[in-house]
Structure 1
């Protein structure tokens, strides 16, 4: 059963990976970079902080420090958990697998670490997507859709670039969503305990 699942996963990877063309390589490389997350989420926060419903809140320096801290903790948990899974399962990245590596369209320079299950990119992206989507849910119903679509694009970029199987992405995304939900729940408890994000 497991062998059949992995076979399908490999075939799906090769199909999706080889759909790529040089015309779009730059776009997917950018999405896979840290810069894309920074630029998009800064623009996202800037947009929603200017919305009428949010202007009734008096944002203090402590609030900003708190959000940065909780996001860093969330990413740290996501990254380290991915490393633990990679060391435990030791599933080779497709670009290291001797059986298929000659068929892999490797776009990025270098293949990264030897093992790929699960994807830290997918986990980090979906952690951020769920956390920020829920953070702004009281001001609009749309943020969660935007952040999840963006996270999906980032995650797919890892298959496009040739460094992760679809299952690496799926499990990374699931872990990330759980991580984002747990951290958001902790955030909600902290808000009830401390004087953060008060209305002016």
Structure 2
């Protein structure tokens, strides 16, 4: 990665991690990245899809799970080890000033797997439901973006990590949504 981009990323990280510090974010952002906080929403989405669309809904849930599984595995097990970017809390330059609000975590930083997974979900659901419910796109993107922001705020990812994860996750989500549309061509939300 070019030096100017690394420096920009570190400065933006510092701005989010330090300059935006406040007690409300200190309370909220660790929650936003915690699976216990948002798992109920995803269970509701799964239940709603199966209840509302029956067999097609079950197939939709399978494709959504495949999208998240593929995004998660490829991000964490293939891309991260090959890029090997240190997390801000482990980077010798940023670790000196990083405000760690959660445990640093193991593994590498780029791309953020949280960002990849949540944007895969957002893109998948938006692609499938946008024609019927236009609000799904801004709602899912906002939800995923808040989780991405939380990753930077708590000190475990750089802004480019979550941006890369968001782009990659969106591509995966759309790819699996297109696959779902091919398997269930008559699906109407």
Length-normalised TM-score, structure 2: 0.88
CA distance 1:32–1:198, shift in 2 (3 Å): closer
Q: Show structure 2 runs of 5+ residues with no match.
A: none
Larger radius of gyration: 1
**Out of 119, 132, 145, which is 1:139 matched to?**
132
C-alpha distance in 2 between matches for 1:144 and 1:93 = 30
Residue number in structure 2 paired with 1:25: 26
How many residues are paired up?
186
Query: TM-score, with normalisation over the residues of structure 1?
Result: 0.84
4+ long deviations beyond 6 Å: none
Question: 2 CA distance for matches of 1:74 and 1:198?
Answer: 20
Shift of 1:191: 0.4
Match of 2:4 in 1: 4
Q: 2:92 aligns to what?
A: 98
Structure 2: distance between partners of 1:186 and 1:155: 26
Contact in 2 for aligned 1:28/1:157 (Cα 8 Å): yes
Give 5+ residue unaligned stretches, structure 1.
50-56
Distance in 2, Cα, partners of 1:129 & 1:198: 18
Q: Deviations over 1:82-114 (max 9, x none)?
A: 121110111100000122212001001x21123
Q: How big is the alpha-carbon RMSD for the aligned residues of Structure 1 and Structure 2?
A: 2.4
